[in-house]
Structure 1
Amino acid sequence: MKTSLLAAASMIALAASIALAADIHVDSAAAALDADPGVARLADLKPLALQAHGLRRAGATSPTTVQVVIGASMTGAAGKAEAYRIIGEGDPAYAYRDFVRPVKAAILNERKNAEFTVPEGFAAPKAADIRSLTRTVVELTLPAPLKEGGAYHVVAIGVGSEMVTAGKTAASFIYRAA
């Protein structure tokens, strides 16, 4: 029997609503759900989901090229240079106050790499129909070379009202020449 994650979330919300309507403390409703053997067997997928969404990591592949890895939550803004900001601690070419953006952004492998697949025995939420969480690599071409040993930050700020991701929006790295 497949257990739907959406159904489990709905059960928790329903139990909380019933508890509030009946003036029962929400912790009591949660404790009752915890005692249910069906709910107790459900995996806690929050840590996996939090690791998979948003900017996963950033790193330089050359003095003027940075690659960022974006998890499952991504929009079309991810492929636009104006959607990113590069900040370098102690590097005047990437001063925070200057709002430095890459000169180019290119998506290298849009959603090709699966980082997580819904485990056997669990149904994907029907509304989203997500069977796996994926990652995309975006290459950013920078306007100036990075400094050896410098600490840099990539911030996915988005374009206009379009976010790059609904997950984590920044990643940091130390530049080391290869």
Structure 2
Amino acid sequence: TKPIQLVGATIAGAGLVLVAFHLPPSTRIGFLLVVAAAASWAFANVIVKRIHSEQPLAVVVWASAAASIMMLPVALVLEGPATMWAAVSAMDTLAWLGLAFQAWPTTLLAFGIWAWLLRQHPAALIAPFTLLVPIVAMSLAVWLLGEAITWWKLTAIGLVLSGLALNVIASRTRRDDVATPPA
């Protein structure tokens, strides 16, 4: 990791902190859960990188299956078997199609591509792109839900994109340094 990458991470982190400070109290727990999910994703990136699998999609399928099995007892305790069965029984065709869409293109395909990228490139280059998730979410909220575009949202987006750009530039410089032998 180059110092410029740390600067980029700090700038991007400032963008996320800006978002956190402007959240209403009712959504702060959700924000903390998103931060916990990001930490889990970072941990998974390290694991996927260390596995060196020739079949990244298979890694994602098995990881998803393992996570589902581990979360089932938690769901049973928190929701109860009757509530879970009622929810599954009430699912109509559209709900099943939505579940299939979440399982295939958005989970298996997207994370399979992500795992492939991690295999092809340094994790320090790929992992920061997860910072685009809140930018996409805020942009979709403005576009689809009619949320207001505020100065702090634009500033947060600018900070995250600037930090990400510094990371990409630093990673590219490192590759150029390695590829070019000294004269």
More strand by share: 1
- Larger RCO, structure (CA 8 Å, separation 6 or more): 2
TM superposition score normalised by structure 2: 0.22
Rg larger for: 1
Alignment TM-score, normalising by the size of structure 1: 0.23
